[in-house]
Amino acid sequence: MQLLPAVALTAIPLIGQGGRWWAWADTLNAFLGPTAILLALIALHGFARRQWTAVTVATIGAALALIQLGSGVLRASPRQDGATDTVRVLTVSAYHANPHPFVLRDMISKLDPDLAFIQEADGAAAEALAQALPGHHRVLSCPAARCSLVIVSRWPLARSDRPDLHAHDLPDLLAAEVSAPFARFRVVTLHLPRMLSPQAERHRGMLVDLVRSGNRLPTIAGGDFNLATGSFALSALERQSGLRRLDRYVPSYPANLFFPAVVPIDHVLSDGHWDSLGCRGLSVAGSDHRAVLCRLRLRP
C-alpha cells in the first residue's frame, strides 16, 4: 500500500528536473515542500511496517525534493543580525474578490511598514487601500483611481518607469525612486503571469531589462512572481536580473482554503546593496495569498 503513493510522489521531483527545459515540468517544483514531507512520512510508516521497497523509493524521492528545494533556499540572501537602521518591506496581494477589504486596510496600517507593495489593488479592496497608511506617499500603476499595483512609502517617491499607457500587453510592473533620509533607492513591484502563460517569459524579460537598465541605485523588488522557490525559472530570473531573494521559504498560496498555504510564490528580492534581516509570512484578511514582511539594511 505504501509503494504506489511513494512512486507517484517521487515522480514529482523527477519530472520537475525537466523544468530546466520545459515550463510545464517546472510547475511541479512548486510542490517540493509538501512532497518532501509526505515522502518522509511514507518512509517512516514503511519502516515501521518493514516495507523496504516503499522505504527506498520514498527516501530517494524525499532526497531529490530536498536537494532541489535546498538549492533555492540556500540561494536566498544570507541573514545578517544586529542591525539598528532597517527598512521594513511588505508585499501583499489584496485579492480582487476580497470580502474583508477594510480589515485588510487596518492590518496594513497596524503593521506600519516603511514600504508596501500591493498587487490586485483594483478590486474589492481599492477603496480601503486608498485609506491605508495615511500620511504615506504612494504611486499607482495607471492614471485611474483604481490600479492593479500600488507602492506605498514612508518617504517621498516618484514613479520611474514610463510605459506607453495605450500599448497592449504591458507587464503588471511598477517602479519608483524613493528619497529616504539615509539614501535614494529604487523599488519595483510586480504581478507576473503564471508560468504556463504565453507571455510569462516575455514579462520576466521586461523585469530584467528594467532592473538592469538606467541608474544603478540600490534596488528592492517584491510582489507576486508566480514562480515558486526551487523552480528553475525563478533561479534564472535571479541570475539574469542580479537580484537575490530575501525570503528563504515562505509558503504564500493558496491562503483562503481549508488547508494551509503550500506554494511560495510571493517574494522580496534585492541587489547586493542590501542585507537581509529576516522575512516572515503573514495571514491577511480575505486574500488568497499570504503577505511577506522582510527587514533589510542598506550596506554602508
Phi, psi of 270 (to 5 degrees): -150, 165
CA distance 66 to 72: 10
Tell me the three state secondary structure of residue 21.
coil
CA distance 35 to 230: 13
Given this model, what pLDDT does residue 281 score? Answer: 94
- The pTM score is 0.89
Q: What is the dihedral of CA 41, 43, 44, 46, to 10 degrees?
A: 120
By the 8 A CB rule, do 6 and 45 touch? no
CA distance 171 to 207: 8
Q: Long-range CB contacts (< 8 A, 24+ apart) of 99-102?
A: 99/124, 99/286, 100/285, 100/286, 101/125, 101/126, 101/127, 101/128, 101/129, 101/285, 101/286, 102/128
First CA to last CA distance, the chain: 58
Helices 232-241/52-74 angle, 10° precision: 20
CA 68 to chain centre: 18
Given this model, what pLDDT does residue 73 score? Answer: 77
Given this model, what pLDDT does residue 243 score? Answer: 93
CA distance 162 to 210: 11
Given this model, what pLDDT does residue 82 score? Answer: 52
Positive/negative CA dihedral, 117, 119, 122, 124: negative
Q: Average pLDDT for consecutive 10-residue bins of the chain (300 residues)? A: 83 90 91 90 85 86 87 68 75 93 92 95 89 90 80 93 57 90 92 90 89 84 95 94 91 89 94 91 92 92
CA distance 85 to 80: 12
